[in-house]
Amino acid sequence: MAAADRPDKPDRPGAQHWVPPDADLEAIRAAAPGCRGCELWAPATQVVVSTGDASARVVLVGEQPGDVEDREGVPFVGPAGKLLMRAVDEAGLDRREVYLTNAVKHFRFTPRGKRRIHQTPDVGHVTACHPWVEAELQAVDPDVVVPLGATAVRSVLGPGLKVTQQRGQVLVRETLAGERRSSRTRRCARFRFGRNRHSRPSPGG
């Protein structure tokens, strides 16, 4: 039996089938609720796309929505998100210049009684959801992209980088337009490459 036909193999066709080509943020947000790029859509309450606008200079990428974000449909409104927003304010950034999103757009969890316990997304979930992240970065075209944690690093910069070795470094990524952008800020010293104390208790939001 082929691997794709195994009944225990999750259905992960990838988000590319649902991402509109050359979409702006409005089109991305309108299309995302229909995404069936991986199996996480089924148990989740709703898709959680992003907040912020296309003129944002800084994009912060977390891991995935948490329990609060899944219920409210907005990223970074739970405990970790509140810590992150405090760090944004302390860094002197205007919140209107910050775009917030996650590497994976649905909450992955394990039910435990009435509670839903956070479960780290698999590589397959990150890969399936990656077309959404690329579409967002193309639509916003920020000066700086800050991945918060290992899952976000994998989504933004690929699997070859390790947070433990690259944390705090300024790197350059190739954009879809072929330009090279530096992940550098002037006033955001606390937002470093990978996980930092302001992204706890979870690297997502």
Q: Is residue 190 part of a domain?
A: yes
> Does residue 6 sit within a domain?
no
Burial class (CB in 10 A: 0-12, 13-18, 19+), 188: buried
pLDDT in tens, the chain (205 residues): 444 455 578 899 999 999 999 999 999 999 999 999 999 999 999 999 999 999 999 999 999 999 999 999 999 999 999 999 999 999 999 999 999 999 999 999 999 999 999 999 999 999 999 999 999 999 999 989 999 989 999 999 888 777 777 677 777 766 655 554 434 333 333 333 333 333 333 456 7
Q: What is the pLDDT of residue 152?
A: 93
pLDDT (0 to 100) of residue 66: 97
pTM value surpassing 0.85: no
Q: Tell me what pLDDT residue 189 has.
A: 31
What's the confidence (pLDDT) of residue 32?
A: 98
What does 109-178 look like in DSSP terms, one character per residue?
EEEETTEEEE-PPPHHHHHHHHHHHHHHHHHH--SEEEE-SHHHHHHHH-TT--HHHHTT---EEE-TTS
Q: Give CA–CA dist 15/198, Å, rounded.
A: 30
194, part of any domain: yes
Any domain includes 205: no
**What residues have CB less than 8 Å from 204, skipping those under 6 apart?**
62, 63, 64, 65, 66, 80, 102, 103, 104, 148, 149, 151, 152
Say whether the peptide bond before residue 13 is cis (omega within 30 degrees of 0).
no
CATH number where 77 lies: 3.40.470.10
Domain membership of residue 19 (yes or no) is yes
Domain-embedded: residue 1 = no
Q: How many domains are there within the chain?
A: 1
Residue-number span of the structural domain to which 91 is assigned: 11-199
Contact (CB, 8 A) for 41 and 47: yes
In a domain, residue 3? The reply is no
Residue 29: other Cβ atoms inside 10 A = 15
H helix or E strand, kind and range, residue 85 = helix 79-90
∠81-84-85 over CA atoms, to 5°?
Answer: 90
| Predicted pLDDT of residue 204 | 64
Q: For residue 75, is it within any domain? A: yes
